[in-house]
Amino acid sequence: MKDTDAPKAIEVTDLVVEFGRNRVLDHLSLDVRTGEILGLVGASGGGKSVLLRTMLGLIRKRQGRIAIFGVDRDKATLQELQTLERRWGVLYQQGALFSSLTVFQNIEFPIREYLRTPQRLMREIANAKLEMVGLRPEDGDKLPSELSGGMTKRVALARALALDPAIAFLDEPTSGLDPIAAREFGVLIRTLQRTLGLTVFMVTHEIEALQTICDRVAALAGGRIVAIGPMPQLLEIEDPWVKSYFRGVRGAPSSAPVTP
Amino acid sequence: MGSQNLVVCRAGEGRLTIAGSGAWTADNATRLESCIDNARPNDAPRLEIDMGDVEEFDTYGAWILERLMRGDGRPRQVSLVRLPEKFHDLVEGVRRTNRSAPARPQRVVWPLALLANIGRGVEVAGAEALRLAAMVGALVALFGRALVAPRRFRLTSIVHHLDRVGVRAVPIIILITLLIGAIIAQQGFFHFRRFGADDYVVDLVGILTLREIGVLIVSIMVAGRSGSSYTAELGSMKMREEIDALRTMGRDPLEVLVLPRIIALVVALPLLTLIGAMAALIGGGIVASIYGMEPSLYVARLREVVSISDFEVGMIKAPFMALVIGLVACTEGFQVRGSAESLGARTTSSVVKAIFLVIVLDGIFAMFFSSMGM
């Protein structure tokens, strides 16, 4: 970690999360810089989603400190929390679209809740968001149950970005998409991130996404961050778990046997 | 942040300059829009937009800028100057959106809309009656097949559902019917005492609860308690594709999910009715003793006036009520579509329909039994 001067968007220090006697996160520390895309990888069931949900305040932590834009949830006033929640957008793994609202209403929901925007402007913004994630205006009147998996992800992204947040949390944004759609989605996130100046924290398994769109990658194993850095740097790391995770990735040390 | 100027307008000869400044962001979008709307009614043929002093910018600002540049239909020459480099992509991105005019909903004259609604209502009602009939048919066929191969009855499942809709319903059924019996007796004493006709209270309680009230109250309770849960269970299974999974594993959802539930209901409801009727009689008896009638007298009078046919009439109805409740609940459950709202709507409609049909059925039985002389 050479340049530490970029301001921190997220600071996690010494985080411990336990379910009963099962310790999922064990004194974990992680920083996300403002304006970067950080990818988080880890074994299934290894606590990636737990980390994400703890950052969002959905899971109680046992110990440690989480500050997002300098706001510490434990010490923040209700007002500060509201402001913080207004500045982040979350894409859930399953989309979590409100099933009884149409696509447009889903995207408009945060706008309606936080801003007093006239109906016409709100619809135009919602439509702009919808088209920016690659859907057509006709899709706006559909219900979530009528959408395919890829469309659901796109709508969920549009909703996450409805308020032009400063930080976006994406939980496996490309899982369940075909490679072409996943690549497109990755490019889309990259473009939006660049144009909107977003900070993105994303959990993902797609090696390609990690290589092409993430500025840095963090590897979570055994409840800690075992490695963090740009992808090429990560491939050089001697941690056994990281090595086996990235085995066979182009550019990885060829000493690892490649399974056919 | 709130009070700072977002837009400065300068009208020159034949041209209007709109100079943006400050934060063109979501928080200021509403104010920005009205500022620009105020500046626009100007007939200048040339419009210059100066974005040099805009510090913050997001999709909201970009869209408002784009809308300003597209103009309001009047021919004018628009130029955009000093747009900071870092905002280019965003403006480019927004430019491609909102190209097609939003589809206007068609306006329909209200008498036509009313007719259309009535027509749609009839269609829906017809379709639902058809679905109910289809369900009856499918279940009869299934039942027939199961008689040949009794393994298809799924005993474990039936017992499980019997426990849920039968055993666990006993306390609440006893409580409610006890109260109903007591209330009927109390009202009876209150009014009959004026005529010195205390004895007839027993006739009232006995015949009414055994023939009508017992089975009705129990059916309504079961429709609310078990019918709703059947609909919600099947509905959420449908939503999560569990029903499809079952079907692709080569198992008929009707056989696995519906038949055990309905059989359990058909077995449980008569038993609950029996328990309910007894509880109602006891409730009546308690009130009778409060009003000074000896319990032995109450029982003796009961044996005198209540015939076995009163009891039979109540009990015969019970399995049919169960069948109606189960059929409606399961049919509605399968009608759930993707949304949470539809699950709620179907559960409501399941309970409402089941109660309605139970009462209609009761009326039909009343006519039937009176023509049979029972």
The pLDDT confidence band at residue A2, using thresholds 50, 70 and 90, is: very low
Crossing angle for the helix pair B259-290 and B214-222, nearest 10 degrees? Answer: 130
pLDDT of residue A257: 46
Give all strands (DSSP E) within B240-288, no chain letters: none
Residue of B65, B87, B98, B99 to mutate, testing the A interface (most A Cβ within 10 Å of its Cβ): B98
Contact B30 A116 (CB under 8 A): yes
The answer to whether the beta carbons of residues A103 and A145 sit under 8 Å apart is no
* Residues B196-252 pLDDT 10s: 888 899 999 999 999 999 999 999 999 999 999 999 999 999 988 899 888 888 888
Give A113: exposed, middle or buried? Use CB within 10 Å, 0-12, 13-18, 19+: exposed
The answer to whether the beta carbons of residues B63 and A125 sit under 8 Å apart is yes
The pLDDT confidence band at residue A145, using thresholds 50, 70 and 90, is: confident
CA distance B20 to B1: 15
The answer to whether the beta carbons of residues A39 and A17 sit under 8 Å apart is no
pLDDT of residue A96: 87
* CA of A173 vs chain B CAs: smallest distance (Å): 21
The answer to whether the beta carbons of residues B260 and B158 sit under 8 Å apart is yes
**Does the complex come out with an ipTM higher than 0.90?**
no
What domains can you pick out in chain B, each with its CATH number?
7-95 (3.30.750.24), 122-372 (no CATH)
The answer to whether the beta carbons of residues A169 and A52 sit under 8 Å apart is yes
Report residue A143 as tokens.
């219900």
Rg (CA), chain A: 19
Residue of A164, A167, A194 to mutate, testing the B interface (most B Cβ within 10 Å of its Cβ): A164
Residue of B339, B341, B342 to mutate, testing the A interface (most A Cβ within 10 Å of its Cβ): B339
The contact set of B with A (CB < 8 A) is 25-27, 29-30, 33, 58-60, 63-64, 67, 86, 89-90, 93-94, 96-98, 100, 102-103, 337-342
The pLDDT confidence band at residue B81, using thresholds 50, 70 and 90, is: confident
The answer to whether the beta carbons of residues B253 and B247 sit under 8 Å apart is yes
Sole residue written with tokens 């889903």: A106
The pLDDT confidence band at residue B4, using thresholds 50, 70 and 90, is: low
Residue type, B12: G
Rg (CA), chain B: 35
* Residues B142-190 pLDDT 10s: 999 989 988 888 899 999 999 999 999 999 999 999 999 999 999 999 9
- Pick the closest to residue A64 from A38, A24, A29 (CA basis): A29
pLDDT of residue A197: 77
The sheet with strand A224-229 has its strands ordered as A88-91, A167-171, A199-203, A37-42, A216-221, A224-229
| Domain locations in chain A as residue ranges | 1-87+168-253, 95-164
Tell me what the mean pLDDT of segment B90-105 comes to: 75
Please name the residues in contact with B64: beta carbons below 8 A apart, sequence gap of 6 or more.
Answer: A121, B24, B29, B32, B33, B36
Q: Residue B347: pLDDT above 80?
A: yes
Q: What is the CATH number of domain A1-87+168-253?
A: 3.40.50.300
Lowest mean pLDDT among A14-23, B92-101, B132-141, B324-333: B92-101
pLDDT of residue B122: 95
CA distance B61 to A125: 10
Q: For residue B338, which residues of chain A lie inside 8 Å, CB to CB?
A: 99, 143-146
Q: For residue A99, which residues of chain B lie inside 8 Å, CB to CB?
A: 338-341
The answer to whether the beta carbons of residues A17 and A179 sit under 8 Å apart is no
The pLDDT confidence band at residue A255, using thresholds 50, 70 and 90, is: very low
* Residues A160-211 pLDDT 10s: 888 888 888 988 888 777 788 778 778 878 877 877 778 889 888 777 778 8
pLDDT of residue A1: 42
